Structure 1
Amino acid sequence: MSLGLSLLAFGLGTQIPLQLSAAPLWLLYAVVTGTVAGGCWVIAHECGHHAFHPNRRVEAVVGFVLHSLLLVPYYTWQRSHAVHHANCNHLEGGETHVPPRSDAPMGRIVAGVSRLLGPELFGTLSLITHLLMGWPLYLLFGVAGGEDYGAPTSHFWNAGPFRNGVRPLFPDSFRRVMLASNLGVLAMLLALGFASLQFSLARVLCVYALPYLVINAWLVGYTWLQHTDTDIPHFSSREWNWAKGALQTVDRPYGSLLNLLHHGIGSTHVCHHINPAIPHYNAWQGTALLRQRYPELMRYDPTPIHRALWRVATRCAVVSQVAEGGGFFYQPLSS
């Protein structure tokens, strides 16, 4: 379904005229196609967790092809995403959406900028940087990665200057599959370059790049809201354990259409962190069972997505420890 609808949508994009008067149509095309193609991203994500097919070779091929088509280095993403699952909400060992501490150099910079701009302007800037630039910045430079891995890190190179932490995100033994991931992305870039020569750069930018931005926005929006909010704690090594970290993710109401197109990735995420090998179509039953058995542990926020996203963007900048031995929580921007 995801691949078929995506191919259909991209095919329709080849028929839209390259005229300024067609700008509203291109905007609609980008939103619809990017939203539909986001399902392919999720299927590759399933492959990365061995939740797609019993045959590991089939999973590897499907995941590698789908992610390469979306300019994602599959095997290196699989590695960093596994680190994220193994260290969820861990300030030192975590990976992706790790917040800066208020007393750290980066935390002081972020806090200063947030106070200077104010919540509304800071929130607007945060939305733009996260949704439009967050994903490529993470792949290229490890933005929002864990403290232990140093800054910057890169999904495309695991030597200097991308190896400054107390432990490597991508060890030397990983270099071979990193090369394979890079070749997959390079092949897609070459295909896009050839298409630009064959048809025009403008056509490729409109047909491919516009939905690509929307796909990335969905990806970052989902993961941001899954692991960030004013009441979600993060933990240092002394307080963290795997179960405590995994249970700090949150399910949210995305509606039946988005849950169908994106395979419930935002509405069954707590269950996914409890056992990421559960396929998306069984995660609904797993979520229902977990909520029935452990209602006090299962986070669910019924806030409409646009309101939750604005709350996170305007109120979640840096974290501080509110009590000795407790978690680190986001502090109000005015403090």
Structure 2
Amino acid sequence: MPAVSVPTSPGADFHHFMEKSRLLEGENLTTAIPRALFTPRTSRGLLGFGVSLSLYAVSIAGIVLAPHWYLYPPLWVLAGLGGWGLHCIAHDCGHGSFSRSRRLNTYVGHIALLPLLYPYQSWRHVHNMHHAHTNNLELDTDWRPVPAQVYARMQWWERAVYSATRTWAFWGGSIRYWLVSGFRPGFFPKASTAREVRRSIAFTAPAGLLLVAGLFVLAGWQGFVVCFLVPWLAIHLWFSATTLMHHSASDLPFLTSEHWTRNAGRLLLTTDFVYPRFLNFLTHNIAVHTAHHVAPAVPFYNLPQAQAALRHAYPGVVREERLRPLSLWRILRDLHLYDARNGFYQTFSGAPVPPEGSGS
């Protein structure tokens, strides 16, 4: 908890947000979603898994067989999309919405995260921290902005990493996330969680080592770069961009624990982007994100119906914006540091960012 109340000089926009938050106190948000939508259909989940696995595998095979280097870039994009789709399947596994079988969820989750070399249990537990504390300035694990005063006291290399991953190297944000939590059982305080993480590492580390060593033996360092490293980076680009955009907007505050509430974190602090239909299919409705935060147990193929139910129950509250190239650009251009004065953002130059609406 901060020593003084933060923000120190909240304006009308912050007070308006807090009024919306207060109106949700005591609400059971999940009752707005029909119970039937919580029931997973394992066959449908496996179909999604198969689609993404096929897209990733065919793209990698295309890279191997491509007669010329100029075919690599589109295949890298497709491999990244296939790998991101696999991550989205692991996302359902981690929330138990892929299948009623915890064992099947664990098996599929481990396989789906192999292209990222991300131990499934490490990702699952750190991601659940994000769900428990969405847009909490002190406790969220995803894309939490650093207060300007803290940024000024960082070591030079910490500032360099932070500023890069909030701007030109945003794609490295999820790589940093992976480095911090992926292979460190000690990152998780509970002994039972650390044991699960160690078991995941015991699967992912040898499997990843065999994959990398095999690529070096069969195709040399060039094969490793074009068939694994660049697709791995492409998956992280999808990962970072999607996560950053969901929870960053000029009019979405990060809240200290003094002001944060669970219902605000679930319903008010996410921006959903309306994807083209084919992209929704290949990313398993990951962009339908407010309904997911309200009810993580809803399987990905039922999220559009759950979102419609929330829109009906809470008119004008669910934030949706059509996906445009500028959607990411304006975040990278302006939303850099937490402004402790008004509770929103400021740029690296210290200019406050007006909390203008980015979606409704």
- Pick the TM interval, shorter chain: 0.7 to 0.9
Distance 1:31 1:330 in 2: 32
Per the TM alignment, residue 281 of structure 1 is displaced from its structure 2 partner at its CA by 0.5
Q: Tell me, yes or no, if the aligned pair for 1:254 and 1:305 is still in contact at 8 Å.
A: no
Match for 2:97: what amino acid?
A
The 5 Å alignment of 1:142-181 reads 154-159=181-186, 169-181=188-200
Cα displacement string for residues 262-287 of structure 1 (whole angstroms, at most 9, x for unaligned residues): 01101x10000000110111000011
Residue of 268, 272, 277 corresponding to 2:297: 277
The number of residue pairs the alignment matches comes to: 295
Task: Give the direction of change, closer, same or farther, for the CA distance of 1:106–1:137 in structure 2 (3 Å limit).
Answer: farther
Residue of 346, 355, 359 corresponding to 1:331: 346
Which runs of structure 1 show a deviation greater than 6 angstroms over 4 or more consecutive aligned residues?
Answer: 107-110, 122-125
Distance 1:64 1:334 in 2: 43
2:316 matched residue in structure 1: 296
1:148 matched residue in structure 2: none
Q: Tell me the TM-score normalized by structure 1.
A: 0.81
Distance 1:36 1:180 in 2: 26
1:165 matched residue in structure 2: none
Distance 1:271 1:288 in 2: 9
Per the TM alignment, residue 215 of structure 1 is displaced from its structure 2 partner at its CA by 0.9
Q: Tell me, yes or no, if the aligned pair for 2:63 and 2:71 is still in contact at 8 Å.
A: no
Correspondence 1:129 to 2:169: yes
Match for 1:288: what amino acid?
A
Q: Tell me, yes or no, if the aligned pair for 2:250 and 2:335 is still in contact at 8 Å.
A: yes
Residue of 294, 307, 323 corresponding to 1:287: 307
Task: Give the direction of change, closer, same or farther, for the CA distance of 1:124–1:105 in structure 2 (3 Å limit).
Answer: closer
Match for 1:2: what amino acid?
S
Q: Tell me the TM-score normalized by structure 2.
A: 0.76
Correspondence 1:139 to 2:178: yes
1:260 matched residue in structure 2: 281
Residue of 54, 68, 76 corresponding to 1:4: 54
CA RMSD of aligned residues (A): 2.3
Looking at both structures, which has the greater relative contact order when contacts are Cα pairs under 8 Å and sequence separation is at least 6? 2
Distance 2:69 2:61 in 1: 17
Correspondence 1:209 to 2:243: no
Distance 2:324 2:91 in 1: 22
Query: Secondary structure at the residue paired with 2:81?
Result: helix
1:86 matched residue in structure 2: 132
Match for 2:203: what amino acid?
G
Distance 1:65 1:331 in 2: 40
2:99 matched residue in structure 1: 53
Match for 1:176: what amino acid?
R
Query: Secondary structure at the residue paired with 2:344?
Result: strand
Segments of 5+ residues of structure 2 without an aligned counterpart are 1-50, 352-360
